[in-house]
Amino acid sequence: MTPQEFIDIALWFPESTETQPYGPGALVYKVAEKSFAILADGPAEEPSRITLKCEPSLAVELRAQFPSVTPGYHTDKRHWNTILLDGTVPDDELVEMTVHSYQRVVAGLRKADRDRLRAVLGDDVPQLPAAG
């Protein structure tokens, strides 16, 4: 997946916004002012990387399954994974990870925001239960 393909996916979600709070080279995708994805340029000659929110046990499973999935870079390593866009994680898996991240953030929003976003999504994306 290319960085532009990832941008297109991240901006597909209802009320998704793109910001640059850390300056050039890092795009942050938010819903209701809460981050669900970060796309960062890699160091010279390295691929870009994305950081996505993830349920903790799934995060560990994904790290074991894919060498390019590591604990979140500059984030809570229990709840975030960083994925190198080096082609070793299939595109459909990256899409699923992004959907999961968005859902995790939506599940933690205020009820009114959560309900509004779920109404827009309809059946396009399976829903997570509300965060407890």
Tally of structural domains, the chain: 1
Question: Would residue 72 count as lying in a domain?
Answer: yes
Question: Would residue 132 count as lying in a domain?
Answer: no
Question: Would residue 129 count as lying in a domain?
Answer: no
**pTM: predicted TM-score of the whole model, two decimal places:** 0.88
Which CA distances in Å does 82 have to 49, 53, 85?
7, 9, 10
Question: Would residue 126 count as lying in a domain?
Answer: no
pLDDT at 13: 93
**pLDDT tens for each residue of 17-46:** 999 998 888 999 999 999 999 999 877 788
Question: Would residue 43 count as lying in a domain?
Answer: yes
Question: Would residue 127 count as lying in a domain?
Answer: no
Please check the confidence at residue 128 and state whether its pLDDT lies above 70: no
pLDDT at 80: 96
**pLDDT tens for each residue of 75-85:** 888 999 999 99
**CATH number for 22:** 3.90.1150.30
Which CA distances in Å does 2 have to 71, 97, 110, 126?
21, 15, 33, 25
Question: Would residue 83 count as lying in a domain?
Answer: yes
Domain span at residue 24 reads 3-120
Question: Would residue 14 count as lying in a domain?
Answer: yes
What is the largest distance, in Å, between two alpha-carbon atoms of the chain?
44
